Amino acid sequence: MSETLAIDRPRLGLLNLMSSPVFVKTEHQWRDGFRGLADVVPVRFDEDPRHHNGSSQCLQGYAPISEVADGLDGLIVTGANLERQPDGSPFPFTDIRYIGQLRDVVDWAESQTRLTVYSCLASHIALDHLFGIKRDILPQKVFGVFCHEAVDAPLTRGLEWPLQSPHSRWGNVPAKLLRDAGVEVLAEGFEPGWLLAERQRSTGTTVFLQGHPEYERDDLAAEYRRDRVHGQAVPHKYYPQDDPSRVPAYAWHRTTTQLFRNLTACITANSTRPVPPSDLVRKATA
C-alpha cells in the first residue's frame, strides 16, 4: 500500500478460518455485507495445513496472503469451530495447526492495514496474542439475538436502537479486560457481553467482534437444526414466540448494513495515516 494511495474501492482480504461445512456460507456473508462498498479478496495462509483435509477444495481460488498483501487496504479474519474439546474444556490455541502463521498475520495487520476486523474466535485469538487476554468457556452457549447498548462513535453512528445482533459462541472475554488493555468497548449487552470493540493504532483501526452481525436471516436456524439433537435450546429472541416452525425475524438487518458502511468508512478516514510497504513473510510452515 502506498502512503499516497487514493482509496476509491477498498480491497479487503478475507482470511476464512471456518470449517468446510460452512466455509462457503461464511465467505458469502462477508462478501454480501461489503457488496458495493469494497472488494473482498479471499486469502489463505502461505503454507496452509488445511490443504490436507476437507477444506482443500474450499481453498481453491484463495490466494496466499503474502502474494496480495501489498494490494490490501484491510483484512477480515473469521471465526472457527475450535472453541471446545469434546469434554467441554477450552480448545487450546496452541493446538491449532496454523496458529503460528495466524499470529504472524495479526502482527502484520496491526502495523500495515487501514482496517482489521477479527470475528468471534479470531477476536479471542487476537486479544490473547496482542494483550495476553484469556477467554473463558461458558457453561451455556450464548446463542440467539441480543440487544446491546452502544456509545457514540464512528462505528456505531446510524445504527438502529436497541442495537440487535446474533451471537453464537461458547467463549467469552470479559469487557473489563478489554478496557484494562486500552481497547474501547463500543457495544455491550447485559446478557451476551460485549459485541463490538475497537483499538485505534498509528496506521488504522482494529475492530473486534464477539458476535455475528454478518449472519443472515436463516443462519441461526441452520445451527439450531444441526445442534438440537445435542440439546441446543431454541435461539434467544430469534423466532417469533420462540416457535421454530415460524420464519425468523431479521431484526438486525438494517443495523448490519449500516455497520458495514461504517467499517468501510474507517478505511477512508485512515487513508492519511502512513502505512509502510508490507513485510509479511512466511515465518510459520504449519
Residue 61 placed within a domain: yes
In this structure, what CATH number is given to the domain that contains residue 171? 3.40.50.880
**Nearest-angstrom CA–CA distance, 96 and 126:** 14
- Provide the number of structural domains found in the chain: 1
**Nearest-angstrom CA–CA distance, 113 and 274:** 10
Range of the domain at 171: 11-143+167-217+260-269
Residue 156 placed within a domain: no
Peptide bond connecting 92 to the previous residue in cis, omega within 30 degrees of 0: no
Q: Cβ contacts of residue 199 below 8 Å, gap of 6+?
A: 182, 183, 184, 205, 206, 208
**Nearest-angstrom CA–CA distance, 95 and 177:** 24
Q: Which residues are catalytic?
A: 120, 212, 214
Residue 151 placed within a domain: no
Model's pTM, two decimal places? 0.92
E strands present in the chain: 11-15, 39-44, 63-64, 74-77, 115-119, 136-150, 163-172, 184-189, 193-200, 205-209
pLDDT (tens, 9 = 90+) of the chain, 286 residues, equals 434 444 578 999 999 999 888 999 999 999 999 999 999 999 999 988 887 665 667 888 899 999 999 999 999 999 998 899 888 888 999 999 999 999 999 999 999 999 999 999 999 999 999 999 999 999 999 999 999 999 999 999 999 988 999 999 999 999 999 999 999 999 999 999 999 999 999 999 999 999 999 999 999 999 999 999 999 999 999 999 999 999 999 999 999 999 999 999 999 888 877 766 667 654 433 3
User: Cell triple for residue 68?
Assistant: 496480495
